A and B are shown apart, each in its own frame.
Chain A
Amino acid sequence: MSEMAALIEPHIPALRRYAFALIREDASADDLVQDCLERAVSRWHLRRNDGDVRSWLFTILHNLFVSQRRQTLRRGPHRPLEDVDHETGVPGAQEHAITHRDMLRALASLPEEQQSVLVLIGVEDLSYTEAARVVGVPVGTIMSRLSRARDRLRGLMNGGLMNSEEPVTLRRIK
């Protein structure tokens, strides 16, 4: 295996996870990762040698996502999760049993910029500084997005909406 492959491949599962968190549709998420890898492979020689490969890959993925999302927004939003039959949640005792689907729906209900930060930091374990570099904003902005995202999710959890049959909506927590 080439040096490039050896440095890139360990990050592919994480890139797929991040792409899936943002897009929530398997094939489109992998398409985004493929675009990212194509770009990374063809620009391998342009990366800063001292820079860390993981942040570099996430930055490419993030930028592609943002520019592709801009195109999709022009075409109209794509909301796959709400088309899917909802899992029949167990009513009642939900606070400690947040289902995966509910969690992803709650994530989807956040503004996109907050989703990115929440996943990069909470799931991908990037430092605040690394996340700031990937998203291209100051660390302070990362902190405030993280804080808003977490409080919003907390509102959803406390409002008992996590297991509701209704799609999570922002209206109900405003």
Chain B
Amino acid sequence: MKGGMPIGDDDLHGYVDKCLSPERMAAVEAYIAAHPDAAVRIRQYQEQRQALRSALQLKYDEPVPVRLRVASIQTEQRRWWRQTLGRVAVSGLWLLIGAAGGWFANEGLAARPSARVASATVEDGIAREALVAHRVFAAEVRHPVEVDVSQEKHLIEWLSKRLGRPLHVPNLSAQGYQLMGGRLLPASAGPAAQLMYDDGTGRRLTVYLTAEDGGETSFRYVRDGELGGFHWRDAGFSYAVLAQADRRELLATAEAIYRQTAGPAPVPAR
């Protein structure tokens, strides 16, 4: 027998895996020649090794799915970072909005204590819900309204019934807006009505109403990007009017709505 060290289990596996030194390979070969049982063992090891390789070869030959390309992984990770940074930025924005809200609420508090605090939160809610509703439905091309202007009488009756008090649909043709129709929406405190207007160029204006008991408030200005508006409370309703327009135009529209729904316009707040 050649090769010094006696042949062990490790050598047989090393032989199967072809990772022995040439001398050791030769030694194992000689050992196999002299030991038929070892030869059978080796042959079976080789067989199962080959069987396993070919069973898995199909998987190896498959084209790599796109999601497992390094470029896709990198894109995904970059997107994740952007989204995370975006989310952080948005949280920061909300923090600012909250801080600003607190500052204004405090101002109001100084002017007229308890009454203003409650109304500030309710009205902020109105403004937020009106903004979201505007963004959702003003962008709607095929179904901007639930009941269109051809059924204006039905629209008014229906919304009045659901809001629990008679509703007046403002005429804003002097401001260049024609009524398209309206819809009923769920608001946090109950039903809300959204009236939608169009200026003929595709620019949309919404008037958002919820039934609200309590006193009058002044006009409050809101702006979210290109979208701006005023909201106020008067005669059993909270109103918000929103459009992609500047403050002056929005104020004129808000005053027009106020005049049509109640008495003299309130003084705009700062």
Taking Cβ atoms with an 8 Å cutoff, the residues of A that contact B are 1-2, 4-5, 8-9, 12-14, 16-17, 20-21, 30, 33-34, 37-38, 41-42, 96, 98, 100-101, 103-104, 106-107, 118-119, 121-123, 127-128, 143, 146-147, 150, 153-154, 157-158
- Chain A to chain B contacts (Cβ below 8 Å), 21 pairs: A1-B71, A14-B60, A16-B59, A20-B59, A30-B65, A33-B68, A34-B67, A38-B73, A38-B76, A96-B47, A98-B48, A100-B55, A100-B58, A103-B48, A119-B52, A127-B19, A143-B9, A150-B13, A153-B48, A154-B45, A154-B48
Distance in Å: Cβ of B26 to nearest Cβ of chain A: 20
User: Which of chain A's residues have a CB closer than 8 A to the CB of B74?
Assistant: 5, 41
Whether B2 sits at the interface, judged by CB under 8 Å, is no
The main secondary structure of chain B at its interface with chain A is: helix
Q: Given the complex of chains A and B, what is the CA–CA distance between A8 and B13 in angstroms?
A: 30
Q: Given the complex of chains A and B, what is the CA–CA distance between A38 and B64 in angstroms?
A: 15
Chain B residue with Cβ nearest A162: B51
Chain B residue with Cβ nearest A155: B44
Is A122 a contact partner of B53 (Cβ separation < 8 A)? Answer: yes
Q: Given the complex of chains A and B, what is the CA–CA distance between A153 and B61 in angstroms?
A: 25
Distance in Å: Cβ of B101 to nearest Cβ of chain A: 39
Is A30 a contact partner of B68 (Cβ separation < 8 A)? Answer: yes
User: Which of chain B's residues have a CB closer than 8 A to the CB of A1?
Assistant: 70-71
Q: Given the complex of chains A and B, what is the CA–CA distance between A135 and B265 in angstroms?
A: 79
Is B67 a contact partner of A123 (Cβ separation < 8 A)? Answer: no
Pair count A-B, CB < 8 A = 104
Distance in Å: Cβ of A117 to nearest Cβ of chain B: 11
Distance in Å: Cβ of A134 to nearest Cβ of chain B: 15
Closest 3 CB pairs of A and B: A100-B55, A5-B70, A103-B55
Q: Given the complex of chains A and B, what is the CA–CA distance between A146 and B41 in angstroms?
A: 14
Q: Given the complex of chains A and B, what is the CA–CA distance between A126 and B186 in angstroms?
A: 64
Is B64 a contact partner of A16 (Cβ separation < 8 A)? Answer: yes
Distance in Å: Cβ of A15 to nearest Cβ of chain B: 8
Is B71 a contact partner of A5 (Cβ separation < 8 A)? Answer: yes
User: Which of chain A's residues have a CB closer than 8 A to the CB of B76?
Assistant: 38
Distance in Å: Cβ of A136 to nearest Cβ of chain B: 20
Q: Given the complex of chains A and B, what is the CA–CA distance between A158 and B41 in angstroms?
A: 11
Is A150 a contact partner of B77 (Cβ separation < 8 A)? Answer: no
Distance in Å: Cβ of B231 to nearest Cβ of chain A: 46
Q: Which of A100, A146, A158 touches B54 (beta carbons < 8 Å)?
A: A100
Q: Using A150-B13, A150-B45 as known contacts, say yes or no to A41 and B64 having CB atoms under 8 A apart.
A: no
Whether B62 sits at the interface, judged by CB under 8 Å, is yes
Distance in Å: Cβ of A44 to nearest Cβ of chain B: 10
Q: Given the complex of chains A and B, what is the CA–CA distance between A1 and B74 in angstroms?
A: 12
Interface bits B2-20 vs A (CB < 8 Å: 1, else 0): 0000000110010011010
Distance in Å: Cβ of A74 to nearest Cβ of chain B: 27
Q: Given the complex of chains A and B, what is the CA–CA distance between A16 and B57 in angstroms?
A: 11
Distance in Å: Cβ of A4 to nearest Cβ of chain B: 7
Chain B residue with Cβ nearest A19: B59
Is A123 a contact partner of B48 (Cβ separation < 8 A)? Answer: no
Q: Given the complex of chains A and B, what is the CA–CA distance between A9 and B65 in angstroms?
A: 12
Is B13 a contact partner of A147 (Cβ separation < 8 A)? Answer: yes
Is A122 a contact partner of B17 (Cβ separation < 8 A)? Answer: yes
Is A150 a contact partner of B48 (Cβ separation < 8 A)? Answer: yes
Chain B residue with Cβ nearest A147: B9
